[in-house]
Chains A and B, each alone.
Chain A
Amino acid sequence: MTWEIVMKQKIAVKVDDLTVAYNYKPVLWDIDLEIPEGVLMAIVGPNGAGKSTLIKAILGILKPIAGSVTIYDKPYDKQRQLVAYVPQKGSVDWDFPTTALDVVTMGTYGSLGWIKRPGQKEKKAALEALEKVGMLPFKGRQISQLSGGQQQRIFLARALVQNASIYFMDEPFQGVDATTEIAIINILKELRKAGKTVIVVHHDLQTVPEYFDWVTFLNVKKIATGPVKDIFNDDNLTKTYGINYKVSIQE
């Protein structure tokens, strides 16, 4: 991919001067970021680098103290329908009394808006998404009765059902088995093929070149962003992780 082509690409997500603080302590410091349409991008950085925070701030879940975010040149509020979000698996209570199908159906709530109830159309979309992630046989299962990998697939199906243009995923590979990891990455690659933009908070540096074509290095400040083959190198890794980054790779 040459730079001319990149420049002509539409920008899916644009972040300007974004600063986020928890209790006055900044966790993201003046972030500028442009994510081109159609990339499969990893956000990497050490623990506490603000990776999840960046996603949450883009999605309006956290309120930044400064800066702005646009999705296809408009504020997030107006473009909600274009965006789907897969939170960290640990962010919800899996003992909640509900089934796999019901959780996936929640993905349709956004297009329904307030008060309206999901009907046959929404149920069909949810079942199709379950089928796509290979979880159809578990549709009636209470969610705590699913393994970690199965729970992650349910979350993925819930995002798929939103039929968005941009997908944000917070550590989708955390605590899943090898089979699920492959199943998930195949679905992500399929999404990219369909022209969607996929942004993934990722922990395993070793798999970055294999899984992703775009990468952002983050450690409170943005360090670099661009195609994996151009910028995924020792220099940026050291800048992000410090001199001992090789240790974190081995971990």
Chain B
Amino acid sequence: MNSAQIEIQLIASLVAIACAIPGTFLVLRKMAMISDAISHSILPGIVIGFFITQDLNSPLLIILAALTGVITVVLVEYIQKTGLVKEDTAIGLVFPALFSIGVILIAKNANDIHLDVDAVLVGELALAPFDRLIVNGVDIGPKSLWIIGTILLITITLLIAFFKELKVSTFDKGLAASLGFSPVIIHYGLMTVSSVTTVGAFDAVGAILVVALMIAPAATAYLLTTNLKKMLALAVIFGVVSAISGYWLAHYLDASIAGSITTMLGLLFLIVYLFAPSKGVIAVMYREKQQRTEVSLLTFLLHLKNHNEIEERHVNHLQEHINWQRVRAKTVLELALKNNMIIVDNNIVSLTEKGDAFTSKAIDYIITNEDAQIEDMKDDFFLFRG
């Protein structure tokens, strides 16, 4: 690995971390699309800033672009508040308009300089190490590294300082307002951080990828944990892993770094989406099957409880009485036996004391409560689950 390669990976990793932190809150606030809007509509801010400063890494440019980002949010909310269109429509109206102004500005005025539409969309991470920051004649590293490093530092400081406020206003806006933590201030604070991060990451990864880095790691982490701090940590880890593995994928395929990082983000999400222990697709399918079997079990036990007649409780007749297929009937019978809820004597099924107690309790709960969650009860009674 040469030093340029290390620098690229370092920049990509810092960008990933800086994006994952606001991204986590955007995902929890169901505002993922807003980050897409910001990433596109800051373009005119960048272009105008670039005309003024002639430097893609100037602080003025970052401030101008971040301002455009906040203006986007304000415009979206304003249009939405009129009640004439829905929120997603408002987003879809605002950002293409601002983005296209940026595109026209570039096409009209920036033909001969280092700013083109391709670079804006996917960034030029490979070129980042060539733009050095030189202080007193000493080369102290790539400019983008310093910029994203500074942004990340500010983001982390704000996160630590206002973690509690961010959490409460994200979870329960009404409570936050009644406690005196203005949700409006926190909302625009988050929007400003998101905008600044987007601008800082823009040069490295471009408008499309920046959205992926904000949303995908947080969405992946959301499937794996039920703890906000862990979700933040996981999002950061996923971001960095994708950034570094994406870089090497691009290296071996000789492809775009930005594209490869996004591919890795997508792959990572897909894997977690399928295999996450409790929220993954497979786990959910398994749980639904379990639930179905257990509901059948309860129905079966209730049938036994309601019928004392021998013919209603004969193993061979159960099938026709409850109208189940053979396999299902067999599964349910076995589950009941395994859990000591029934005994089979001379092919006649009867409830055990435990089976009787469980049935009464479960039915009683389901009838008196609106929600039919007998999960806690299952923990008390079941040796084996369905």
Contacts and interface: CB of A to CB of B under 8 A. Distances in A.
7 contacts: A60-B177, A61-B174, A106-B175, A114-B165, A144-B226, A147-B371, A149-B369
Nearest to A151: B371
Nearest to A146: B373
B178 A80 contact: yes
B164 A117 contact: yes
B292 to A, nearest CB: 20
Interface residues of A, number: 38
Contacts of A235: none
Contacts of A176: 370
Contacts of A96: 28, 170-171, 228
Enumerate the 5 nearest inter-chain pairs by beta-carbon distance, A residue then B residue, closest first. Answer: A110-B179, A142-B226, A177-B369, A85-B178, A59-B178
B371 A148 contact: yes
B179 A97 contact: no
A66 to B, nearest CB: 20
B168 interface: yes
Given A109-B168, A148-B370, A114 B181 contact: yes
B227 interface: yes
B164 A61 contact: no
Given A56-B174, A106-B172, A177-B369, A112 B164 contact: yes
A99 B371 contact: no
Nearest to A177: B369
Interface of B: 28, 30, 83, 161-165, 167-168, 170-175, 177-181, 222, 225-228, 230-231, 368-371, 373, 375
Nearest to A158: B175
Contact of B171 (A23, A106, A114): A106
Interface of A: 23, 56, 59-61, 77, 80, 83, 85, 87, 91-93, 96-99, 103, 106, 109-110, 112-115, 117-118, 142, 144-145, 147-149, 158, 175-178
Given A80-B178, A98-B228, A175 B370 contact: yes
A176 B368 CA distance: 10
Nearest to B374: A147
B177 to A, nearest CB: 5
B275 to A, nearest CB: 19
Given A106-B168, A148-B371, A115 B174 contact: no
Q: Which of A77, A96, A112 has the most CB of B within 10 A?
A: A96
Given A97-B231, A109-B164, A177-B368, A92 B172 contact: yes
B226 to A, nearest CB: 4
Contact of A97 (B228, B369, B375): B228
Contacts of A112: 164
B172 A61 contact: no
Contacts of A158: 175
B226 A98 contact: yes
Contacts of A114: 162, 165, 181
Contacts of B181: 109, 114
A92 B164 CA distance: 17
A91 B174 contact: yes
A98 B171 contact: yes
B177 A61 contact: yes
A175 to B, nearest CB: 6
B185 to A, nearest CB: 10
Contacts of B174: 56, 59, 61, 85, 87, 91
Contacts of A77: 180
Nearest to B225: A97
Contact of A87 (B30, B161, B172, B375): B172
A115 B369 contact: no
